[in-house]
Amino acid sequence: MLALRQVSAHYDGAIVALDHVDASVGAGQIVALLGANGAGKTTLLKAIAGMLPFDRGDIVGGDILFEDASLLGRHPAEISRRGIALVQDGRQCFRQLTVAENLQAASFAHPKGAAERLELVQGYFPFLCEMMDRKAGLLSGGQLQMLVIGMAIMCNPRLLMLDEPSLGLSPVMVQSVFDAIERMHRELKMTIVVAEQTVPRLLKIASDAYVLSRGRIVMHAPPSAMTEEELQKVYLN
Amino acid sequence: MLMFTLQLLVAGIATGSVYALIALGIVLIYKCSGVVNFAQGAFVMLGAYLTYGLVKLGLPAYVALLGAMILMAGCGMASERLVLRPMMKAPLVAVMTVTLGMLILMKAVCLAIWGPDQLAFPRLFPDGAVDVFGIFVTYNYLAAFVLSICLSVGFLAFYQLTPIGLMQRCTADNPRAALAIGIHTSNQISLAWSMSAALAGIGGALLASLNGLSLGLADIGLVAFPVIVLGGLTSLTGALVAGLLLGVLQALTDGLLTPVAEQFLRTYTSIYSAGALQQVVPYALLVVVLLVRPEGIFGQRGTERL
């Protein structure tokens, strides 16, 4: 479904952020993207979503193929229309707008079936129903994460990428986030990529895992074959 | 005396509503791109000159006004596409300096075409006045007020209630999140520039119909900046209220304070004129408000997020 071939990326024309990354994601998989802070996870996801140019970054080599069509040089809005949604780190949503407006805005580029998807989102996260008229900025961290995932569902993606969805959340909330991820994978047939530092539950549900370090893929194996020791070695390196 | 004051108030509210219209455009651009557009005054001036030009071509006043508005929308979009979009990766200070350059350029173009002299602006509205409880409101003032308020309210309704308005608010709130859900943020910024220029252009034609047409109209930007800072820079309603307030204050200064000050100066000193005291008022007000409320009247504390 998604293939990265020798992708290299720079920031400000000089700082190397990705160094000849090869990776692939098959339809229906959950893929874990692991690595310490600054390993290049966010850069990799942003490169796929076409958002690097908006962060003073550039893809300087290689190719990114989604369903056999290159995504290089495409605008994020077009990539989103092709069926890729990115849940960015930091729970990026519109804090001055209401929850309802946030969800509505997320369906503009994908108007077909928006009403049904809104019901779906409310079914996944029932607490949102009571908060539709509240400003998103007033939600708690966990609620915001759910809202942002809900917004991604409104985009009706076939490939959903999440950047550190568990960061800064309580253990209970982390469990809810991963419940939602598993449900979307099972019920909505989404292919999912999750970038995290370490989450034992992610390693349980993922069928494939890549480990990034300093912009390179240093390990690629099914999570069951990865030992805690190996991971620690990479992280501390 | 009371009647005179009320008369001044009416004039002030009419001019103030036009200021509000112009300030709205600055806030709109600032909200969605973080750029303080110094060229807004030039849009005001250009809108007035274009209306003048179209009337001289023989178009009826209303058609000319509408035509100028459309031309200004195109001009705003062209500025964004040709000048600002290529600077996407440049620092904001550089972008703002470029808008200052645009101001100078547009002033020079108008100077080359229409010359430096004050021109008699064509009559957009019929002569005459309505009598409201003894206060005379000329059709000019009435039309400027009604048009500005209708446009401002119409624009706010568009911004708050329509899908495109929502996309505008998304782009203003969090461009990254807007990109991620498939909103073309750069197109939204183009749209903001064209709406802003169109509003400024109409504002310019209205001001010219009140005070005459000259290159000095571009200096209205200098008045509009205190207005938006007063309003809180990111608040559209703040821009409206501050615009009205400023118009009233200027009128009252001009009609009441200046004569008193001049009387005083002539009696006790050899200074004969207090000059354009009403031009000092916006800045004096700005200093006072910023001392008391650094975030502006309607601004939000700590709008910078981590």
Domain parsing of chain B, residue ranges: 2-218
Per-residue buried b or exposed e for B204-241, using 16+ beta carbons within 10 Å of the residue's own CB: bbbbbbbeebbbebbebbebbbbbbbbbbbbbbbbbbb
Q: Which residues contact A89 (CB under 8 A, 6 or more apart)?
A: A42, A163, A164, A167
Instruction: Verify whether the Cβ–Cβ distance A95 to B174 is below 8 Å.
Output: yes
Distance of residue A118 Cα from the nearest chain B Cα, in angstroms = 15
This model's pTM is above 0.90: no
Q: What is the mean pLDDT of residues B59-69?
A: 93
Please determine, for residue A94, whether its predicted confidence score (pLDDT) is greater than 80: yes
Task: Give the closest of B166, B173, B180 to A86, CB-based.
Answer: B180
Distance of residue B31 Cα from the nearest chain A Cα, in angstroms = 12
pLDDT band at A223 (very low <50, low <70, confident <90, very high): confident
pLDDT band at B45 (very low <50, low <70, confident <90, very high): very high
* More confident: B221 or A45: A45
Q: What is the mean pLDDT of residues A183-212?
A: 91
Instruction: Verify whether the Cβ–Cβ distance B181 to A51 is below 8 Å.
Output: no
Please determine, for residue B70, whether its predicted confidence score (pLDDT) is greater than 90: yes
Instruction: Verify whether the Cβ–Cβ distance B183 to A109 is below 8 Å.
Output: yes
Please determine, for residue A147, whether its predicted confidence score (pLDDT) is greater than 80: yes
pLDDT score recorded for residue B74 = 97
Please determine, for residue A105, whether its predicted confidence score (pLDDT) is greater than 90: yes
Instruction: Verify whether the Cβ–Cβ distance B177 to A92 is below 8 Å.
Output: yes
Percent of chain B at pLDDT > 90 equals 46
Q: What is the mean pLDDT of residues B48-75?
A: 94
End-to-end CA distance of chain A: 32
Give the lowest-confidence range in A21-35, A74-88, A151-165, B289-303: B289-303
pLDDT band at B18 (very low <50, low <70, confident <90, very high): very high
pLDDT band at B306 (very low <50, low <70, confident <90, very high): very low
Optimal mutation site among A82, A91, A102, interface B, most CBs of chain B within 10 A = A102
Q: What is the mean pLDDT of residues B6-26?
A: 91
Distance of residue B170 Cα from the nearest chain A Cα, in angstroms = 6
pLDDT score recorded for residue B304 = 43
Instruction: Verify whether the Cβ–Cβ distance B180 to A75 is below 8 Å.
Output: no
**CB A128, CB A147: distance < 8 Å:** yes
Instruction: Verify whether the Cβ–Cβ distance A154 to B181 is below 8 Å.
Output: yes
pLDDT score recorded for residue B289 = 81
Q: How confident is the prediction for chain B on average, in pLDDT? A: 87
Strand, helix or coil at B1?
A: coil
Residues of chain B with Cβ-Cβ distance to A109 below 8 Å are 181-183
Instruction: Verify whether the Cβ–Cβ distance A97 to B179 is below 8 Å.
Output: no
Please determine, for residue B295, whether its predicted confidence score (pLDDT) is greater than 60: yes
Q: What is the mean pLDDT of residues B204-222?
A: 89
pLDDT score recorded for residue B126 = 83
Q: How confident is the prediction for chain A on average, in pLDDT? A: 91
pLDDT band at B87 (very low <50, low <70, confident <90, very high): confident
**CB B38, CB B222: distance < 8 Å:** no
**CB B51, CB B258: distance < 8 Å:** no
The whole-angstrom separation of Cα B42 and Cα B161 is 30
Q: What is the mean pLDDT of residues A39-57?
A: 91
Give the lowest-confidence range in A107-121, B15-29, B114-128, B292-306: B292-306
Please determine, for residue B32, whether its predicted confidence score (pLDDT) is greater than 50: yes
pLDDT score recorded for residue B124 = 82
The whole-angstrom separation of Cα B1 and Cα A29 is 81
pLDDT band at B136 (very low <50, low <70, confident <90, very high): confident
Please determine, for residue A76, whether its predicted confidence score (pLDDT) is greater than 70: yes
Cβ–Cβ contact A76 with B under 8 A: yes
DSSP letters, A133-173, are: TSBGGGS-HHHHHHHHHHHHHHT--SEEEEESTTTT--HHH
Please determine, for residue B303, whether its predicted confidence score (pLDDT) is greater than 60: no
CB pairs under 8 A between A and B: 74
Instruction: Verify whether the Cβ–Cβ distance B169 to A77 is below 8 Å.
Output: no
Cβ–Cβ contact A48 with B under 8 A: no
pLDDT score recorded for residue B147 = 93
pLDDT score recorded for residue B301 = 61
Task: Order across the sheet with A84-87: list the strands.
Answer: A84-87, A159-163, A191-196, A30-34, A208-213, A216-221
Optimal mutation site among B161, B179, B187, B306, interface A, most CBs of chain A within 10 A = B179
Task: Give the closest of B88, B174, B184 to A75, CB-based.
Answer: B184
Residues of chain B with Cβ-Cβ distance to A76 below 8 Å are 179-180, 182
Please determine, for residue A237, whether its predicted confidence score (pLDDT) is greater than 70: no
pLDDT score recorded for residue B71 = 97
Instruction: Verify whether the Cβ–Cβ distance B305 to A154 is below 8 Å.
Output: no
Dump pLDDT digits (tens) for B224-278: 777 778 777 788 888 888 888 888 888 888 888 888 888 888 888 887 777 777 7
Q: What is the mean pLDDT of residues A31-60?
A: 91
Instruction: Verify whether the Cβ–Cβ distance A54 to B176 is below 8 Å.
Output: yes
Residues of chain A with Cβ-Cβ distance to B175 below 8 Å are 54
Please determine, for residue A13, whether its predicted confidence score (pLDDT) is greater than 80: no
**CB B5, CB B162: distance < 8 Å:** no
Instruction: Verify whether the Cβ–Cβ distance A151 to B181 is below 8 Å.
Output: yes
Instruction: Verify whether the Cβ–Cβ distance A80 to B180 is below 8 Å.
Output: yes
Distance of residue B306 Cα from the nearest chain A Cα, in angstroms = 9
What stretches of chain A show up as alpha helix (H) in DSSP? 41-49, 76-82, 99-106, 114-124, 127-130, 141-154, 171-187, 200-205, 228-236
pLDDT score recorded for residue A233 = 79
Please determine, for residue B305, whether its predicted confidence score (pLDDT) is greater than 70: no
Closest CA to B75 of B56, B117, B52, B103: B103
Q: What is the mean pLDDT of residues A69-75?
A: 93
Whose structure tokens read 């390196």?
A237
Q: What is the mean pLDDT of residues A97-113?
A: 92
Give the lowest-confidence range in A14-18, A124-128, B23-27: A14-18
Residues of B with CB under 8 A from a CB of A: 88-89, 163, 166-167, 169-170, 173-184, 305
